[in-house]
Structure 1
């Protein structure tokens, strides 16, 4: 199992700020008590290892990174990232999906990546690894 690390996060979503938190290793984000907040247009360096998650049990035990919009609207999507097999995968509904959708861009495991948050609103949001 290889290590894939997010080394920076760029928020190119034109209207939304996002909280990012590594639930497996909270200290990889903003410390044990809080998530990292990334405003529109902001670029933040970091060192966040993407957790391995091979089952629903791993998912329930916080082997994932979450990207949550800064809003009180419960209908806004929560994106979730994990490594499974040879790829980095994600969901837009905050749930685990066995062999989930590959993150657009460079979804292979091993190495350093940058994460880009894209879209035109908190409802039209996606991510890319490069």
Structure 2
């Protein structure tokens, strides 16, 4: 049995194919989606999406955030931004992390919206660097 996986970025349908399992980075923790999974909608944090076929990891993507809708037969990921893990430039990721850290330090704590945006940017940039360090190129 398989799960029909769709990954949709703001630009296009990035991927549509059956997989044995997909692991997504939910905001409350990683979720493994297998056939027959309970219906749910979850927000995504910055992290890796892992695709499995016959218990073998076959593809990895870094998602910066978004949402996922899960049913018994399907997992649809609506990604804010998504990149194949192997296509992330480590130097650019490090520069983005440094910029996010600087922006976060300069944010006025009293401006809740700006602070949340800066925090989200920092968390995603750190997750990208961590993904490369742990699983990367």
TM-score normalized by the length of structure 1: 0.34
1 or 2 for the larger relative contact order (CA 8 Å, sep ≥6)? 1
Larger relative helix fraction:
2
